[in-house]
Amino acid sequence: AQKVTQAQTEISVVEKEDVTLDCVYETRDTTYYLFWYKQPPSGELVFLIRRNSFDEQNEISGRYSWNFQKSTSSFNFTITASQVVDSAVYFCALSVDYGQNFVFGPGTRLSVLP
C-alpha cells in the first residue's frame, strides 16, 4: 500500500523568509510518480510539479525548488523569499498507476505574514 506523510500540519513564516515543506512517501513499487499541488483559499487545486521515480534530478522554477531523494523516500519543496500569495495548503501526492489511484498527504498549511 502507498502512503504519503506531511509531518508539518501548519507553518507560519514572515514574508521573504525561505520555507521548506516536507514530504515522505512509502511504496514498494519501483515505478511511481510524485506530485505537489497548491490549494489557495479559493479551493482549487493547482498542479505545481510531477517527478517520476527514475528522475532524481532536483528542479528549480523561479522561487520554487524541489529536492527528490529516493534514499530517504522524500520529496521536499522549498519556497525561497516567500510572499503573502504563497499562503495556501500544499499537498504532496503519490501515484503508482500512471494517472490513477493518487494518494494524497494530509497537507501543510503555509501562512506567510507580511
Partner 1 sequence: SAVISQKPSRDICQRGTSLTIQCQVDSQVTMMFWYRQQPGQSLTLIATANQGSEATYESGFVIDKFPISRPNLTFSTLTVSNMSPEDSSIYLCSTTSGSFQETQYFGPGTRLLVL
What x/- string results for residues 37 through 76 when contact with partner 1 is judged by CB under 8 A? x----xxxxxx--x-x------------------------
How many angstroms separate the Cα of 76 from the Cα of each of 31, 51, 60, 65, 72? 19, 12, 12, 8, 11
Evaluate whether 39 touches 45 at the Cβ level (below 8 Å): yes
Which of 66, 82, 86, 107 is in the footprint of partner 1 by CB under 8 A?
A: 107
For residue 42, the minimal CB distance to partner 1 (Å) is 7
Does position 114 interact with partner 1 (CB under 8 A)? The reply is no
Q: Is 108 in the site for partner 1 (CB under 8 A)?
A: no
By CB neighbour count within 10 A (0-12 exposed, 13-18 middle, 19+ buried), where does 54 fall?
exposed
* Cell (9 digits) for 53: 521515480
Nearer to partner 1 by C-beta: 25 or 37? 37
The CB-of-113 to partner 1 minimum distance in angstroms stands at 20
